[in-house]
Copies of this chain bind each other. A is one copy, B any other.
Amino acid sequence: MELEDILRERDFRLTRPRRVVWEVLSESERHLSAAEIAEEVHRRDPGINVSSVYRTLALLAELDLVRESRLTETSTWEPAHADAVIHLVCENCGATRHHDAALVEDLRAEIARTADFAPSVIDVRVSGTCAKCPAPSTPR
């Protein structure tokens, strides 16, 4: 379903900031910070303000179109994806990769079965060292 339809369905207007922010996000291969998004948005339309970027991100997250990650002190954003796609964050170079871990769904089932808790979103963040970076001197 198109962005326009999803918005209309909930009585939101399709505006220029919303369209451009969504385009930037969906064309990107990686997580983007609000500043990076604003920068690229501004490149495509200098008239669009940072606060509209923030407001749009909040809306798109509400609509489950984008996923916000709090991997470090500043949030990053990307089009929503399944929980089984987890994040590997290199402690050395900072790169964030995706990794598909089917075990996440087993984990969900196990929680639902034994934890007296109804899980919705599961966020798995793995820090460590990526292949391109040297192993840390004091491995854990």
Contacts and interface: CB of A to CB of B under 8 A. Distances in A.
A126 B117 CA distance: 10
Interface residues of A, number: 38
Interface stretch (A8-16, A22-30, A42-50, A102-110): A102-110
Contacts of A139: 118, 120
A122 B97 CA distance: 14
Contacts of A71: 70
A115 to B, nearest CB: 5
A120 B49 CA distance: 39
A65 interface: no
A117 B101 contact: no
A117 B91 contact: no
